[in-house]
Homo-oligomer: A and B are copies of this chain.
Amino acid sequence: QSSLTVYGVADAGLVLERGGDAGAVQKLGNGVASSSRLGFKGKEDLGGGTILTFILENGYSIDTGAAKQNGALFGRQALICVTGEAGALSVGHQYTPFYKTLNNVADPFATGMAGNAQNIFDDTTRVDNTVEYITPRFHGFSADVQYGFGETAGNSAANRYIGASGTYENGPLTIALAHQQRDNATASAHSRNTMLVGRYRFGDVTGHLAHACNRDVLGSESHDTMLGVSAQMSGADRLFASVIRHHDTTSAQRNAVQAALGYSHALSRRTDIYAAYGHIRNSSTAAFHVGTAADTGSGTTGVNLGVRHVF
């Protein structure tokens, strides 16, 4: 079928982790800068400006060949989307607006390598059973709302997920506000996260700022603040860095600070090599780890060196 495309990412590298409870470890990392994936997507023009697309995207571990996302075949994305002048309506297993804001706008590491903002930020990457609507952009403003069915018989609020984001773009400036909440299995309580993000492109240098307020299902609150910068060097080289501070408002004071530096060099339009360093200083009993795009990690220091091929 002419409209079907097979695409993906093959990313592998060396990952050194230090400071974990069980000691240092050297790994062959799978999906360090970007999670390795294989996807199938298709498109049909339904006429009248309406386009139907579908995406089936698998995540795999290149070091073992196994499927990621607890073995789900298309654990990254599985959706049908109808796009027209009135916006885009999609259903399936989809990224959350919260994750997209963190990944696309906030994080200079784009949730990859040792500096992955998800090492610290409390984030739901994707949700099952979702219906999502994205508005067209109007004077720079757009909105994205998502509802995930809890699919609990007798209690439609149990396990449900609600997410939304609003974005304003104007030339070099992007500002986004994202929110998500998920009810527990009896709908007696819900966790929630709210994040405000700003990004400004000063020529080849981009500044990133993000602040998130989190409340878990037991009512404990915390805050995450990120300051990031990325610089497109002459030609193929890119440098990026971020500092993230996690502030625990409870008496346990499980605070943490992450600092990370990354570098990538494009060998071609589709292939780059990269290196990164990240370190987390946990306070009290905080137990944050330096991970990568595809791995949550086991140490408080992480070093990455790898190659990423996009196909």
Residues of A within 8 A of B (CB): 1, 3-8, 10-13, 17, 20-28, 38, 40, 42, 44, 46-47, 52, 54, 56-58, 60-67, 69, 71-80, 82, 91-93, 128-131, 149, 151-156, 267-268, 270-271, 298, 307, 309, 311
Contact = CB atoms under 8 A, between A and B. Distances in A.
A95 to B, nearest CB: 12
Q: Report which residue of A5, A149, A152 has the largest number of chain B beta carbons within 10 angstroms of its beta carbon.
A: A149
Contacts of A267: 46, 52
Contacts of A20: 153
Given A3-B311, A6-B6, A307-B82, A67 B73 contact: yes
Given A10-B56, A28-B130, A154-B24, A62 B80 contact: yes
A6 B156 CA distance: 37
A249 B77 CA distance: 47
Contact of A52 (B47, B66, B309): B309
12 contacts: A23-B154, A27-B151, A28-B129, A42-B311, A44-B268, A44-B270, A56-B65, A63-B93, A64-B129, A65-B128, A67-B72, A71-B71
Given A1-B7, A307-B80, A149 B28 contact: yes
Given A12-B92, A27-B151, A75 B82 contact: no
Contacts of A271: 44, 46, 52
A284 B80 CA distance: 41
Contact of A10 (B54, B149, B311): B54
Given A52-B271, A270-B44, A65 B75 contact: yes
Contact of A65 (B78, B268, B270, B309): B78
B80 A72 contact: no
A44 B309 contact: yes
Contacts of A78: 60-65
A256 B57 CA distance: 41
A203 B21 CA distance: 62
B69 A65 contact: yes
A155 to B, nearest CB: 7
A149 B27 contact: yes
Contacts of A309: 42, 44, 52, 54, 80
Contact of A6 (B1, B80, B270): B1
B56 A91 contact: no
A271 to B, nearest CB: 6
Contacts of A6: 1, 4, 6, 40
B268 A4 contact: no
Contacts of A24: 153-154, 156
A42 B73 CA distance: 21
A271 B52 CA distance: 9
